[in-house]
Amino acid sequence: MSANGRTISGWKLFWLIGALVLAMSALILLLGPDPVEGLRSVIRATARTSFTLFLAAFVASSLATLVPNAFTRGLVRERRYVGLSFAFSHLVHFAAIVGYGALNPQFWPGRSALTNTPGTIGYVFILLLAATSFRYFSQRMTAAAWKRLHTIGIWVIAVIFGYSFFKRIPTMSALYAIPFSILCAAVAVRLVGKWAQATRRRQAQTRSSTRNTLNPHVLESL
């Protein structure tokens, strides 16, 4: 996360991304002739900023394994703040939905409990992942429970993004196949990266147990 040789990291990075998301949303509202359509555009635009930030957090550790360099290592280091920025961007998505629903009386009656279910599940997981990225909540969980929640949560959110783009391909535009394909590629990168990490771990374990059997002094010292 380097700009002009200077590093932006941690909360600074979070506030910078947050300010950019807010500035983008304000510009869309200011430049659009109609506030209702403007809010709809903000909903779409924040879904896209959220998607970009989500993807960065989703592939960070796999990318660092598959393509180790300063940028991918930086992405892993800043993953928590990128993830929190994703949650912030989706908070703006939510605020725009509430605003759109208030200005457009046909919006909520036009939706059903069924159409709201994936998005609601998504928000529950975004809230859980964001909350448990703070020590106050994470230290009340076992490391295994934290890992399980974050693995399940990140996949649930990936599936909701996939579903949100996929359902728009036949009804809105074939161009939604682009973000859907990007998501499929990110899934492939994540799976291959995790497989490479597991393989390396297994090889390291095999090497260390071979060293221990070859060096009896290690056993003596146990």
Q: Which residue ranges make up the site for ligand HEM (CB under 6 A)?
A: 40, 43-44, 47-48, 51, 93, 97, 116, 119-120, 122-123, 157, 160-161, 164-165
Smallest separation, CB 91 to ligand HEM (Å): 11
**Smaller CB separation from ligand HEM, 44 or 201:** 44
For residues 47-86, one letter each, b for 16 or more C-beta atoms within 10 angstroms of the residue's C-beta and e for the rest, the string is bebbbebbbbbbbbbbbbbeeeeeebebbbbbbebbbbbb
Q: How far is the CB of 118 from ligand HEM (least distance, A)?
A: 7
CB of 67 to ligand HEM, least distance (A): 26
Query: CB of residue 181 vs ligand HEM: minimum separation in angstroms?
Result: 14
The angle that helices 35-66 and 177-214 make with each other, rounded to 10 degrees, is 30
Q: Give the largest Cα separation in the chain, rounded.
A: 79
How far, in Å, CA of 93 to CA of 49, rounded?
10
By C-beta, is 64 or 126 nearer to ligand HEM?
126
In the complex with ligand HEM, which residue's Cβ is closer, 121 or 189? 121
| Shortest CB 9 distance to ligand HEM, Å | 25
Which of residues 40 and 64 has its CB atom nearest to ligand HEM in the complex? 40
Helix axes 143-166, 113-131, angle to 10 degrees: 140
3-state secondary structure string, 29-48?
HHHCCCHHHHHHHHHHHHHH
Of 16 and 47, the one with the shorter C-beta distance to ligand HEM is: 47
Do the Cβ atoms of 87 and 129 come closer than 8 Å?
yes
Q: How far is the CB of 122 from ligand HEM (least distance, A)?
A: 3
Q: Which of 27/172 has CB closer to ligand HEM?
A: 172
